[in-house]
Structure 1
Amino acid sequence: MLVRRLLLLLAVLLCGVFSVTPVAAQANLSLTAVPAFEGNYTPGTWLPVQLELRNDGPAIDVLVVAGATGSSLRHGQRVELPAGAVKQLTLYVALDQEVRSLVVQVEQQNLVLAETEFELRPRRDERMLGLLVASDPQLNLPRRQDVTTFPFNTFLLDPAFFPDRMAGLSSLNLVLLHDVPFANLSPAQQEALIGWVYAGGHLLLGGGPTAARTIASMPTTLLPATLGATRQIDDAPLVALSTAPGPGALPGLALLPVPGAIATGTVDAPAWVSRQVGRGSVTQLAFDPGAPALVRWAQAPAFWQNLLRPEQRITTPFGTQSTVDILQEQVVTAGLSNLPALTLPPVDLMFLVLALYTILIGPGIALILRQFDRQAWAWVVVPGVALATGALVVGLALAIRPEQRLVSRLALVEMTAPDLARVRGFVGILVPQPQEVRLATSAEALVRPVRPAAGVFGQVNGVVGDLAQLSPELPLPLEAWQIQGVMAEAHIPLEGIQATMLLVDGMLQIEVVNTSDLVLRDAVAVFGERVVRLGTLNPGETASQPWPLDPPEAVARNTAPSFLVLSEELEAGQGPGQAASRNVLAREALLNAAVIQNNVLSKEGPFVFAWLDQNPLGMQVNAPAAVQEVTLLSLRPVFRGSGPILLNEGWLRPDWVASQQTQCFGSRGAGVPATMAPTMVELRLPVELAELRAERLSLVLESERTWPNAGVITEVYDWERERWVEQSFDGPGELQLANPAPFLRNGRFQLRLDGRIVEAGCLYLSARLQGVLP
């Protein structure tokens, strides 16, 4: 009984020591929290929460945290509150689950000083449209009950609280900027918007009388057109998207498309102009989106339904989204499992100690004791030598043991502007016993747990607990024998690295200039199954190489860039009893993430890749560890030059999104499936070459199965006369167009095959072009 009472008393004391009892909200500290987008968010993204802290008492340092009720993960930020201070800040919260309420708390030394809770509305597979406008344009959008998929969800964006980080816009598919000067946004807000477009967002620019005010100080890399004189805009393009009588001519401005942009409408006064920016797009309207005639137009919902579409619709575990971010992060997280191998300690010294021990314990001690006629001391000397040797061996083992922690650090650095880069760093850690380590990273980074992913060497899970945002150091609680990790992301300045595709004497060459203080290791340019190796560029160096006309032999169409770049290293690990090194597998993961490929996305490019010596965000673990670090820099070259140009196969490539086709795979690699008649394929040049005026075009068509010897109708689309033109072609083989100019518009070429084409199975298309760049 006495023992039970003592144990009960001890349990009560321990509960009193380790439990935390929240205190009531203090009267001198108030908290207000307002979620962005009226609480709507897309699962798998970041949600900005606007906070206001008012301190009517003495100065205090607090921790503001936010998380779902009952969740083991909370995002927090430390805040200093002087006496009488009122502070406004944005707390970014990563929401992977369908959370319907969020709790925000202000804590000091584990005591809750203030608390608030608000509702959230997860929006999976919806069209999230943010309106950054001076006044509500009253867009006549389709009602939720009138559409079967991808409904609209719109909300006004306050310019004062517009997210200042790209992550804060990740829930949005579309943003309308109208009558709010771009120049009025802070530099951080501008960078966030540019990065969001580059990653896959669709930005709509309002036109009409306030168009010049809207685009004031906007970078030319975003603008699809320059503004002209006041014009009446023909409503024919609106009718084409609504298939009904239009609203009549709309007052607006003439738009003058920039090279590579696509104009819709009359040549002298298009209704809108679009251009691709990175993975996203910008559409510039000639008219006011809130024009009264447009608001009253009965068919406006059908028009907006077709115009307001994301540049790309990506299927992810969290539903349909407009960016490849989640797919990229899955690939890199899986690559974290390629942990560094343990470095075995040198055993020579230990072997020497054991050899001496063997000699001593055998004849050595006996001979020595006999020499001094002290054989009786053997009962003391032998155990003493054994104990001393054991202590020495244990000491040596501890001194030369390998590091008990394994750390893998991967980073993807993507240039989103000539002087700006988006950095996402990933850290995976394996420890032999539960412990807490500290991660030092940039104070500009947002940190979240990685999402679970299975890699070659095991499962990678995210850490749990409290994660401090915008902090130079954060603690990471780790479980034993589990690879756990976090991801940090930020936009950072990165100047002095430029890649250019130059047109010289009718031929292309790639040039990379490095005036930064970074070393670009093993730089390569990749596109169309071609690889140009530029070597290592030290600070101040420039490298250039001619672009090869033909791809290497025996390389299948749509071969992954990772294999093209790392072919020798990967093939070296495929021999009997061999495996690619973990460093090579980590590099392969980063390259696969930089250029996501699946049955919907076509291969982008051209790209320039280089390996950096370290992650710009740091992400160092304070504890001793065996570390493997790989950082990939990815950028797209700009095109410069004019005059005659020759483009062999690989430049004019199928656009799977525009063709509404998935890929098929056969003996020649990726192709177009001829599963139904007619089969329509759109081929497209890179946007920088869209102004090419074609003088010769040769299209090569092949098939996986036997091409039908009759009954196949081959047509190409004439953009000038807006009709299909039948061609005399018995296939398979080469189709030459005598006058290709009408069939190539804005870098787009359309082919339609009808009749018995389904018998051909998987189709393989390639093209050769000769023309002039203006």
Structure 2
Amino acid sequence: MKPSLCHTIASRLTYLIGTILLFVWMQCGGPFLGTAGAEEAAQIEIESQIGFGASNVKQGKWTPVTMTLRNQGGDVSGDLVIQVANPNRTKDFSYVQHVELPKGSVKVVTMLLPGNAYTKSNNRITFYEKSQKNGKKIALAGNAYLEAFSLPKETVQVGVLARDVDTLNFLTLLNQSGKNVNVLHLKQEEIPKESLGLDSLDVLAINDFASDTLTAEQVQAIQLWTQRGGNLLLAGGAGYPKSAAPFTKIAPVIYEGTSALKELPQVEKIGEKELVFPQPFTLSQGKLAGGAETIVSEGMLPVFARSAYGSGFVTYAAYDLSLNPLASWNGNQRLWEQILAGTIESAHANNLNQIRFGNDPFWEMDRALEYFPSLQPPKLPMLALVLLLYAILVGPVLYLVLKRLDRREWAWFVIPIVAIVTSIGVFQFGASNRGSMMAESLSTVTLNGTGSGIKQSAVSVFLPKGGDLELKFAGKSVVSPLLRSDVYPSMQLHEQSELVIRKEIDAAIVRLQDIPYSSISKLAVEEEQLVSIGKLDYSISELSAKGAKGQITNNTTKELKDAAVLINQSYIKIGNIPAGASANFDTAGGIGVSNGFDIPQLAFPYPTNNNVDVNLHQRSMLIGHLNQKANFSGGITPMIIGWMKDQTSISLTSGGSIPTEQLTLVSQEMKINYVTTDGKIVIPSTALVPALIDNHLKMSAVQFQNGPFMQMGSGDVTLDYQLPALAGASYLTMEMTGDPNPDVTTELWNSETKVWEAITLKSYQTWEGDKLQPYLLEGKSIRMKVTTVQNNTMFRIPAVSLEGVVKR
């Protein structure tokens, strides 16, 4: 054959093969176009907003995303997808919502995303015609990504619904005293229809606003958000009826008209600044509703009041927060430190500058989800026996058999065959208990004492063969990968999602895709609605500065296993309590702890002698829960804990279900009555953990070494010991214990002379009777200023306890 002919034939074959390969490549969508096909010309415009009109995403909290789509082309329907980089995995995760876009239409789409920092590099918004799984990309005109910085977890975020856009701006003055406060002025349309859309708010204030214009879904979302732990602030004055209209059943006061006052002496005392009214000031008038308590009153008129609602509070202010002279009063900083004390304390417990001892809760939970009790590796003695038998078979036994048959040359193929068969047998033996899909759910239910609670779960699914799987979580659940609540602004997209989450009306659909062989996928699931499993009742029969006795009753629906009481910084193990049964406790039989992070390993010890860690699940879950419940100085709020075990299942969209082991940690805080039956008041030092206010230290951190220590840079800080709200309280004795430090000076605030008085801190000292009264600020707090000129010094936070009586 001539060279030119050969060349022609080769060229034509090359062209033919290239054409075939190009055709196949185009039919498959191309290796670089992803599973959803080529991108079409832009015909949809997009505008996106994360949070509430500002970059206010709070770490670890669900945040709403609003996307406005304008269709400039023909009719189209498909999936809107937000793809986000996963900082803890090598693949991304995506949130999907189906959208119908007729020609020329405008649609507003909302989704909930985990609170984190969002940048151009760590997320992408895409539209797929028909479906995300196999549709074509349609280009979006506009910024097809989200951008927001993340607020620290200790930030107190206040949302305001008000006519005046400057309402509550004075709360930012609290930043001058070491608080992190961010005020957001909301529009009615920004209030979500789901309570978790308000998750990033700590306070929602409604002032001079027509609340009856809110939709029924928005009102329900606000009420459920409050039950989940929010602080709903209803402000009064002449506009109170319209502001509180949808919330009158849960409000702390029953409205009875208005009144006008020329002075507010009690408010002035708390604010510690002169308050002058040039003319009578209008306040709403009302009487306390059942279960409500007064925070500040002028005679018989409640100025501030509060009532518990689920795990949260409804707070009442009797005046319009936007009106002067109160709106511009320079005593607002002190006043609102008192009004928002509980919310500020809860936020400060998450202070990122605080040094916490104990294992990282995320990695503890991540490790716990890897542990399936039924997925144990083969026992080493059994494997050793198999290897020994193999060695004997391949060695002397096989040699003797082949010698007897006079076929020793068969060894060249018999030995490899035996090795292959043995390997297959060993693999089957090792995989005998890993051949079925299974799941486990590690849940926490935080009860509010009224019969319901908040449920949060971490779920792991074992896929022995990998591949794809679609799960269905019924109800109003929100799902995310198991994430750390830290800032990851520098993360890059990995291009491929292994977790695709689609929110439907009555369920959350989660698709696990391209999962490797014999892998475990991990999810975080939070239920929107409260779960109703009952409550844990309790009574205290004896309380002192050193101990407590009492009884708890399990009024939940199931037996409580390994129940325990945490009180007075003691761990008291009780055991199993059947539903409806009671059990006694006494701190004399408990174990004292220096900080809350000792408790998990006391309750569920680590294994010894390399044994299987059968306590891994309980210990890891308790570490995470107490990390959230610890206060700023490391103390643990009194609580009852216990465990429930169930066999349940996770539904599949294809039909059927995956058997699931469910372990639930049940927790309920104990609201201790510090008044004994004979009218005596006993407040132990473990109940008085100070807040750090007016912090002028160059650096400060709290750490635990047999008690709370503060690591201080040069400067000063005020320790504010908030006393429990006890009507008619008269304190007679205060005891203080501490470690004198020559590098630190201490002063107590004298509320009568309005000056700081220097004191010499001793290991033990007391104040009694009239000598004590000047240091009780309105009978509600004790303030100590600590000062150092050293750049780095350790100071033990003094422990304060009080005793007194209730005046009838």
For 1:681, the equivalent position in structure 2 comes to 719
Whether the 8 Å CA contact 2:740–2:762 is kept in 1: the answer is no
Residue of structure 2 in register with 1:398 after alignment:
428
Which stretch has the larger CA shift, 466-475 or 636-645? 636-645
Which residue of 705, 713, 733 maps to 1:697? 733
Q: Is the 8 A contact 2:694 2:718 kept in 1?
A: yes
Change (3 A) 1:276 1:590: same
Q: Determine the structure 1 residue equivalent to 2:222.
A: 193
Deviation at 1:194, TM superposition (A): 5.0
Q: Please tell me whether residue 42 in structure 1 is matched to residue 64 in structure 2.
A: no
Whole-angstrom CA distance in 2 between matches of 1:231 and 1:496: 44
1:530 aligns with 2:570: yes
Partner of 1:449: 481
Query: How many angstroms apart in 1 are the aligned matches of 2:333 and 2:800?
Result: 36
1:406–1:355 CA distance, 2 compared to 1 (3 A): same
The residue type equivalent to 1:74 in the other structure is S
Q: Distance in 1 between matches of 2:82 and 2:398?
A: 71
SS at match of 2:300: coil
Deviation of residue 411 (structure 1)? 3.0
Q: Which amino acid aligns with 2:733?
A: L
2:23 paired residue number:
13
Point out where structure 1 has 5 or more consecutive residues left out of the alignment: 322-326, 455-460
Residue identity in the other structure for 1:732: S
CA displacement at 1:694 relative to structure 2: 4.3
Structure 1 match to 2:532: 495
Seen in structure 2, the aligned counterparts of structure 1 residues 585 and 703 have a Cα distance that, compared at 3 Å, is farther
Q: Does residue 97 of structure 1 match 2:97?
A: no
Q: Is the 8 Å Cα contact of residues 525 and 532 (structure 1) preserved in structure 2?
A: yes
* Secondary structure at 1:535 match in 2: strand
TM-score (norm. length: structure 1)? 0.73
Give the stretch that moved more between structures: 190-199 or 91-100.
190-199
Say yes or no: does 1:738 pair with 2:804: no
2:362 is the alignment partner of 1:332: yes
Q: Which residues in structure 2 correspond to 1:627-666 (within 5 Å)?
A: 630-638=663-671, 643-644=677-678, 645=680, 647=682, 649-657=684-692
Q: CA deviation at 1:206?
A: 1.3
CA displacement, residues 232-261 of structure 1 (integer Å, 9 cap, x when unaligned):
243564797595764544201246568785
**More deviation, 354-363/44-53:** 354-363
In the TM superposition, what whole-angstrom CA distance separates every residue of 1:610-660 from its partner, at most 9, and x where no partner exists? 223259995999999999864322222356797335636345322224585
Q: State the SS of the aligned residue for 2:232.
A: strand
The alpha carbon displacement at 1:286 in A equals: 0.7
Deviations 1:532-558 (A, max 9, x none): 3332234x323232453x6957x454x
Distance 1:378 1:665, change over 3 A: closer
Output aligned runs, 1:758-773, within 5 Å: 761-767=795-801, 769-772=803-806
Pair 1:63 & 2:88 matched: no
Q: Distance in 2 between matches of 1:320 and 1:651?
A: 22
Q: Alpha carbons of 1:350 and 1:677: their partners in 2 closer, same or farther (altered >3 Å)?
A: closer
Kindly state the Cα deviation for residue 520 of structure 1 after the two structures are TM-superposed: 2.6
Tell me, what secondary structure is at the counterpart of 1:337? helix
1:7 Cα deviation after fit: 6.5
The residue aligned with 1:175 is 204
Instruction: Output the CA distance in 1 between the equivalents of 2:208 and 2:662.
Output: 46
CA distance in 1, matches of 2:349, 2:423: 54
Give the Å deviation of 1:207. Answer: 0.3
- Specify which of 392, 411, 415 is matched with residue 447 of structure 2: 415
CA distance in 2, matches of 1:380, 1:617: 53
Check if 1:111 corresponds to 2:136.
yes
After superposition, residues 331-410 of structure 1 pair within 5 angstroms as 331-338=361-368, 339-340=370-371, 343-345=376-378, 355=389, 358=392, 375=405, 387=417, 391=421, 394-395=424-425, 397-398=427-428, 400-401=430-431, 403=434, 409-410=441-442
Task: Report the Cα distance in structure 1 between the residues aligned to 2:385 and 2:761, rounded to whole angstroms.
Answer: 78
Q: Which of 139, 163, 167 matches 2:167?
A: 139
**Do 2:480 and 2:523's aligned partners in 1 also have CA atoms closer than 8 Å?**
yes
Tell me by how many angstroms 1:681 deviates. Answer: 3.5
Amino acid at match of 1:520: L
Q: Distance in 1 between matches of 2:115 and 2:248?
A: 32
Q: Tell whether 2:148 aligns with 1:122.
A: yes
Partner-residue secondary structure (3-state), 1:122: coil
Against the structure 1 CA distance between its residues 167 and 485, is the aligned structure 2 distance closer, same or farther, given a 3 Å change threshold?
Answer: same
1:513 aligns with 2:513: no
Partner letter of residue 108 of structure 1?
K
Q: Which residue of 2 aligns with 1:581?
A: 613
Please say if 1:166 is aligned against 2:195.
yes
Residue of structure 2 aligned with 1:231, choices 247, 250, 259: 259
Give the SS at the match of 1:608. strand
Q: RMSD value over aligned CA atoms?
A: 6.0
Q: Which moved more, 1:4-13 or 1:694-703?
A: 4-13
Does the CA-based 8 Å contact 1:696-1:769 persist in structure 2? yes
Say if 2:641 and 2:667, in contact at 8 Å, map to a contact too.
Answer: yes
Between the aligned partners of 1:363 and 1:303, the Cα distance in structure 2 is 90
Q: 1:186 to 1:5 in 2, by over 3 A?
A: same
Mapped to 2, the partners of 1:353 and 1:68 lie a distance apart of 47
For 2:457, the equivalent position in structure 1 comes to 425
Report the AA paired with residue 733 of structure 1: Y
Distance 1:353 1:450 in 2: 40
Measured after TM superposition, the shift of residue 500 of structure 1 is 3.2
**Correspondence for 1:205:** 234
Do the aligned partners of 1:698 and 1:737 also contact (CA within 8 Å) in 2?
A: yes
Distance change in 2, residues 1:529/1:207 (3 Å): same
- The one-letter code sitting in structure 2 at the alignment partner of 1:769 is E
**Residue pair 1:60, 1:83 contacting (<8 A) in 2 also:** yes
Task: Name the amino acid aligned to 1:130.
Answer: G
Q: Does 1:591 align with 2:623?
A: yes
**Normalising by the residue count of structure 2, what TM-score does the alignment of the two structures yield?**
0.70
Instruction: Give the whole-Å Cα distance in 1 for the aligned partners of 2:16 and 2:448.
Output: 66
Quick check: 1:131–1:156 contact (8 Å CA) kept in 2? yes
Per the alignment, residue 3 of structure 2 pairs with none
User: Mean alpha-carbon deviation: is it higher for 663-672 or for 419-428?
Assistant: 663-672
Counterpart of 1:167 in 2: which secondary structure? helix
Structure 1: which amino acid aligns with 2:527?
Answer: A
CA distance in 2, matches of 1:616, 1:161: 38
Give yes or no for contact 1:501–1:510 (8 Å, CA) kept in 2: yes
Structure 1 counterpart of 2:301: 269
* Native 8 Å contact 1:447 1:468 kept in 2: no
Going from structure 1 to structure 2, the CA distance change for 1:694 and 1:291 (only over 3 Å counts) comes to closer
Number of aligned residues: 739
Q: CA deviation at 1:499?
A: 2.4
For 1:573-596, what per-residue CA distance to the aligned partner results, in whole angstroms no more than 9, with x for missing partners? Answer: 4x6x55882743662354343443
Q: Report Cα offsets for 1:128-181 as digits up to 9, x if no partner.
A: 543334x446538469999999686533332x6622333312343542223568
- SS of residue in 2 equivalent to 1:613: strand
Q: Name the residue aligned to 2:782.
A: 750
Give 1:699 deviation, angstroms.
0.8
Contact map agreement 1:499 1:636 (CA 8 A) in 2:
no
Deviation readout 1:58-108 (Å, 9 max, x if unpaired)? 999743323579995431134689999999763223352334797463631
* Alpha-carbon distance in 2 for matches of 1:72, 1:707: 52
Structure-2 change in CA distance of 1:621 and 1:592 (3 Å)? farther
